[in-house]
Amino acid sequence: MTRTHYHTCPLCEATCGLCITVENGQAVSVKGDKDDVFSKGYLCPKGASLGTLHHDPDRLRRPLVKKNGKFVEVSWDEAFSTVEKGIMPLIKKFGRDAVGVYLGNPCSHTLAGTLAVRPLLKAMGSRNIFSASTVDQMPRHVASGLMFGHPTIIAVPDVDRTRFMLILGADPVTSNGSLATAPNWPRRLRDLKKRGGRLVVVDPRTSATVRLADTHLAIRPGGDVFLLMAMVNVLFAENRVKPGRLADFTNGIETVRELCRPFTPAAVAAHTGLDPAQITALTRDLAAAESAVVYGRMGTSTVPFGALTNWLVDVINILTGNLDRPGGAMFPCPAHLPRKKKPGGRGWTLGRWQSRVNGMNEVMGELPVAALADEMETDGDGRIRALLTIASNPVIALPNARRVDRALAGLDFMVAIDFYVTASTRHADVILPPTGPLSTAHYDVAFYNLSVRNIAHYSPPVLEMPKEEPEAEMDKWEIMYKLALIFSGQGAGADIKSLDDFIIQMMVAGAAKKETSPFHGQEAQMLDLLSPFKGPDRMLDFMIRTGAHGDGFGLNPDHFDPDGLNLEKLKNLPHGLDLGPLTEMLPGHLKTASGRIELAPELMVKDVDRLAKTMDTAPAGLVLVGRRHLRTNNSWMPNIPALVSGPPRCVLHINPADAQNQGLRDGDPATIETRVGSVTAPVKVTDRIRPGVVSLPHGWGHDLEGVAMQVARKHGGINSNILSDESVFDPVSCTTVLNGIPVSVKPARGLG
Ligand code: SF4
């Protein structure tokens, strides 16, 4: 029997709609859904591979327990009982911090990873929480938290309406966008130019996005902070600061005027590698544009001044009056969150606790990944002796990868929620595989909060999950709840239904607690109306009904439109619901204690001092940057033949002048070395990278002993994180420097 299903692609932030044809229980084709309200038929090679991923014979269907050094398939009961026996004695003896958790990037792409993970983390009660956020995006959260009062209040580029877009350290045409959810970046950027707008891209490489740009500024890695400071300097010096209505609720404009004084375009020339006249002209053009937006991503975050650079992105959007206006940087209003109407809140802070070994700051309840190996390897009270990894591959994804690999091997116990035996999960004692991506429901909780249009799209599972033993599979949320029950001391035999009911009762009680709440006294009716669902679906229904476009359970016509949204309505919209372009959200959206934008938070003011001290140190020597490929997604999908075949991608890009200096020719093997490690890669001599910079892609290195992914092992590639140094980081956000790593490059005798 042939059936057609529509499903949002869960593989990256773009949230494309897919049209999936299923024959006899097999997804036989995956195409772009032409009727999807957001992606309108667009898809990339990764999305087209979703069926292959689901049906991959190497994908684990049954839990594995390591016995005598070898993985053995076991029943779910035995797997959970092994977890309990391995973890609970450690907690009893050494306390809750003895068990750490590392949440991988795919967590934010699933309903379970965004909603069900919270009860699990609460039940664990450990301060040793780590996630992929501190690999490359915490600087963005820090800047938003300090300026707007909450780290998730992130302004996204209104790419569909802007007349001038300045992109720094991002290649959305290749990556499909990040912290700015929008399917089909190539079309959106071409449309910007078609309507007479201008695209300027700042990048040391000629990326795919650069190829669409009107202007390319090939900056030195790490120079973005100087460029942006100089642009702020020009805005003030030429009296081009025009915040418009933002001035009514912005503190600190005069402080910023003083801070930027020393950073003239001429003063930053050595750090940016750019002509001062180019910086002045760029600033004038941006300030004069009918609407404009500055957008920065990975390359602005994984640098020594990541938080400061992200702060400056917003500073320029604010000083030019382009924050919170069409064509500028705007705040989404997703269906699953309430719309805040009155400005003000508790404000936000970081550093509420520090990592035990090297005193790195907590940010958003997490410690930085740069601290993880130290916390696992250094003896003493609070040492991480057991680790839970969820959809993550720290041996590939984290800095100083070889050290992370050794540290995982030295743990007393490790549990992984993952459906592959990867470079990391090969160290686990127990692997708990969630069901495949086509057997689980989807709604992008994380990314509709970063979307360039307000969109709501719920996708039910495409294929039924096997429920009967011996083939029974479990959804990720069920695994998480089971672990939560173990961590909370209720044991591996406890039933997840009681926890699931308790969680929704708590959510409803929280919403109805205050006497002023529109839901006060309506708890029983609310629970009754939520009862057709369970797990994250039920949480989502609650969030949508109480959200900005919700029906308020039909109980509150004074506060909610009774014809508004609920999950049942969304389920009947297979192509999604377009809730329109972004609209003005300020000042009501602000959660700062003052209820105003804090343009000059103390931490940023102090960090400008640190920046000023580096002004006289001229950068020198070769530095390494990363790069993406349309067919890769960090370390996620290396076992899909269509995504890893073709010419080798782990090649070192090097400028002809540098190649000549090092005595390297195209195709020669080169040894690349840093303080922490060395790798050997063939070189590609290309003028698509500026002199002084070399580039390797990330997310590779899957050919390690024990990895049970046949395709990935064959196309192993080079793990660029062998070169990255966890001891070099931005001290404000504690994010490791991954772009601009000093390296030596020399000819190698043979490929390693
Ligand atoms: S761009 Fe992202 S969301 Fe769209 S098909 Fe590709 S991987 Fe999926």
**473 alpha carbon – ligand 1 mean position (Å):** 26
Amino acid at 501: D
**9 alpha carbon – ligand 1 mean position (Å):** 6
Is 617 in contact with 710 (CB distance < 8 Å)? Answer: no
Report whether CATH 3.40.800.20 matches the domain 60-126+368-442+458-493: no
Is 308 in contact with 611 (CB distance < 8 Å)? Answer: yes
| Beta carbon of 15 within 6 Å of any ligand 1 atom | yes
Domain with CATH 3.40.228.10 in the chain: 138-341
**371, two tokens:** 């601290």
Domain with CATH 2.40.40.20 in the chain: 623-747
More confident residue, 134 or 258: 258
Percent of residues, the chain, with pLDDT higher than 70:
100
**The pLDDT of residue 79 is above 50:** yes
**The pLDDT of residue 752 is above 60:** no
Region 522-540 average pLDDT:
97
**737, two tokens:** 């420097």
**The pLDDT of residue 107 is above 80:** yes
Residue 325: C-alpha distances to residues 137, 249, 269, 290, 589 (Å) = 24, 15, 32, 11, 14
**The pLDDT of residue 570 is above 60:** yes
**643 alpha carbon – ligand 1 mean position (Å):** 13
**The pLDDT of residue 750 is above 70:** no
**745, two tokens:** 């490059």
| Beta carbon of 16 within 6 Å of any ligand 1 atom | yes
* pLDDT, tens digit, 9 for 90 and up, residues 120-139: 999 999 999 999 998 999 99
Quote the CA–CA distance of 246 and 230 in Å, as a whole number.
22
Quote the CA–CA distance of 508 and 695 in Å, as a whole number.
50
Residue with the smallest CA separation from ligand 1 atom 8 is 47
**174 alpha carbon – ligand 1 mean position (Å):** 11
**The pLDDT of residue 513 is above 70:** yes
| Beta carbon of 735 within 6 Å of any ligand 1 atom | no
Domain 1-55: CATH class, spelled out: alpha beta
| Beta carbon of 153 within 6 Å of any ligand 1 atom | no
Quote the CA–CA distance of 172 and 170 in Å, as a whole number.
6
Domain 623-747: CATH class, spelled out: mainly beta
**The pLDDT of residue 265 is above 90:** yes
Please give the backbone phi and psi of residue 385, each rounded to the nearest 5 degrees, phi first.
-105, -20
Region 488-497 average pLDDT:
96
**633 alpha carbon – ligand 1 mean position (Å):** 10
> Domain 138-341: which topology?
Dimethylsulfoxide Reductase; domain 2 (3.40.228)
Q: Write the Ramachandran bin of 41: left for phi over 0, alpha for psi from -120 to 50, otherwise beta.
A: left
| Beta carbon of 46 within 6 Å of any ligand 1 atom | yes
Quote the CA–CA distance of 428 and 70 in Å, as a whole number.
10
What is the pLDDT confidence band of residue 25, given thresholds at 50, 70 and 90?
very high
Residue with the smallest CA separation from ligand 1 atom 6 is 44
* pLDDT, tens digit, 9 for 90 and up, residues 322-334: 999 999 999 999 9
Is 31 in contact with 6 (CB distance < 8 Å)? Answer: no
| Beta carbon of 176 within 6 Å of any ligand 1 atom | yes
**25 alpha carbon – ligand 1 mean position (Å):** 23
Could you tell which of 16, 187, 634 is best to mutate to test the pocket of ligand 1, judged by most ligand atoms within 8 Å of the CB?
A: 16
**The pLDDT of residue 685 is above 80:** yes
**The pLDDT of residue 223 is above 70:** yes
Is 222 in contact with 304 (CB distance < 8 Å)? Answer: yes
Domain with CATH 3.30.200.210 in the chain: 1-55
Residue with the smallest CA separation from ligand 1 atom 4 is 16
Which stretches of 243-342 are DSSP H helices? 253-259, 269-272, 276-288, 298-301, 306-319
Ligand 1: nearest atom to the Cα of 633: 7
* pLDDT, tens digit, 9 for 90 and up, residues 353-381: 999 999 999 999 999 999 999 999 999 99
Q: Give pLDDT, residue 160.
A: 98
Region 432-437 average pLDDT:
97
- Count Cβ atoms below 10 Å from residue 621 Cβ, excluding itself: 8
**The pLDDT of residue 751 is above 60:** no
Residue 9: C-alpha distances to residues 12, 36, 97, 133, 455 (Å) = 7, 11, 36, 21, 14
What is the pLDDT confidence band of residue 636, given thresholds at 50, 70 and 90?
confident
Average model confidence (pLDDT) across the chain: 96
Q: Give pLDDT, residue 729.
A: 95
| Beta carbon of 14 within 6 Å of any ligand 1 atom | yes
* pLDDT, tens digit, 9 for 90 and up, residues 286-313: 999 999 999 999 999 999 999 999 999 9
- Count Cβ atoms below 10 Å from residue 276 Cβ, excluding itself: 16
What's the whole-model pTM score? Answer: 0.96
Residue 199: C-alpha distances to residues 74, 175, 191 (Å) = 55, 17, 11
Could you tell which of 33, 44, 178 is best to mutate to test the pocket of ligand 1, judged by most ligand atoms within 8 Å of the CB?
A: 44
Convert 215-273 into a string of H (helix), E (strand) and C (coil): EEECCCCCCHHHHHHHHHHHHHHCCCCCCHHHHHHEECHHHHHHHCCCCCCCCCHHHHC
**77 alpha carbon – ligand 1 mean position (Å):** 36
Ligand 1: nearest atom to the Cα of 43: 5
Q: Give pLDDT, residue 537.
A: 98
* pLDDT, tens digit, 9 for 90 and up, residues 438-469: 999 999 999 999 999 999 999 999 999 999 88
What is the pLDDT confidence band of residue 1, given thresholds at 50, 70 and 90?
confident
Q: At 23, which helix (H) or strand (E)? A: strand 17-23
Domain with CATH 3.40.50.740 in the chain: 60-126+368-442+458-493
Percent of residues, the chain, with pLDDT higher than 90:
95
